[in-house]
Amino acid sequence: MATILDKPETKEAMSSLNLEKIRRDFPILRREVDGKRLVYLDNAATSQKPLSVINKISEYYQRYNANVHRGIHTLSEEATAMYEGTRETVRHFIDAKETCEIIFTRGTTEGINLVASTWGRQNVLPGDEIVLSPMEHHSNLVPWQVLAQEREAKLVFLELTAEGEIDMEAAAKLIGSRTRIVAVTQMSNVLGTINPIKELAALAHKQGAVILVDGAQSVPHMQISVQEMDADFVAFSLHKMLGPTGVGVLWGKKDILKAMPPYMYGGDMIASVSRERSRYNELPWKFEAGTPNIGDVIASAAAFEYLTTMGLDNVREHEVEITRYALNRLREINGITIYGPKDPQKRGGVISFNMKDIHPHDLGQILSDAGIAIRAGHHCCQPLMKDLQVMGTARASFYIYNTFEEVDMLLAALREADKVMGNVAYR
């Protein structure tokens, strides 16, 4: 593998992926914005969709649009087979033991809320502790705040090193006998930090606690095994991994899920109903009330298949190299602050930064005028922004179709932003 210090014939030779071929699969990447080629660097918010996913959605509505599980006619049986087939695809993708452990949700947020509202209310008692990291997305913070208030429990926050990694020595002391659950992201959507889930799980289980993993940023970008990491819950969203919006997955260990009460009521989560009481369905349908997002769940299988064919190890290798390249290029700019680990092997393809005397919102608008899409703001991590002593950051995030040339275009636009704002902050 070439390093960024080498001079390959093309920068794309540095990637483990055939970027030219991949980009042909994404129609939106041919779009121009104000006459300029679209450079999409907002993948931590949502990814673009390949034609195979788009076509799968269309196929469902054109060929076998019907409700699932309830009909005996051909269309319903075909839709049910495809819908449940996606569940098996997910099981294999994350290395779960059983298909019944795969629960379809609307996204990571709903998955975390499901656990907090069911397992949490059933197991967290007054005086218990809920352990979080300071880098959590609001979706993995606010539900636990609400639960702690309801149950008179306490929130405990892990400590971070200067580079934005969890201090594991301090974690061993903070995760104690009162800990009931550790809820932590596997990959920060701001710092890019990849957290040591297996080690955190061992600390939690040693104290008789469980661990929930926010996999929104990690599952799309790296090979994971829920069995190997020994988590108890993992939640993630399909729209961040080439799939449609409105589809998520909550995985949980079977014995834990079986003991949890339902989250919502009605529809397929019912086995039988009388006037006085109801008997609930088995896993996973106990947690899937009402008509699900059938077409988008079915189309999600195409997203899993696309990434599987590509190979998650190759995806990860490409992102390490493009992140390494981007970090080095960004460091050419004087007055820039980059947040998170310096080593690209310790982070995902997410780079948050600030440029001296330029508000991140102004920076985002200037880049948008150049056809470059980044994110600017607090990224749903306001407590972390307070820790960093900033109001927000600019954030560029990469995926399988991003090129080294696009990093160069980002740098050129940042230099132009310096000129527009009256700075000369680059070498």
Could you give the CA distance from residue 122 to residue 210 in angstroms, rounded to a whole number? 13
Would residue 381 show up in a list of annotated catalytic residues for this protein? Answer: no
Measured between alpha carbons, how far is 104 from 374 in angstroms, rounded to an integer?
29
Can you say how many angstroms the Cα of residue 85 is from the centroid of all Cα atoms in its chain? 23
User: Which one of the listed residues 256, 380, 411, 421 is annotated catalytic?
Assistant: 380
Answer whether 169's CB lies under 8 Å from 198's CB: no
Angle between helix axes 294-310 and 312-330 (nearest 10 degrees) is: 80
Strand partners for 38:
none
Alpha-helical (H) ranges within 288-426 are 294-310, 312-330, 360-369, 382-388, 404-420
- Beta pairing, strands 372-373 & 39-40: parallel
C-alpha distances out from residue 381 to 229, 245, 390, Å:
25, 21, 11
Nearest Cα to 249, choosing from 93, 79, 42? Answer: 93
* Positions marked active-site: 380
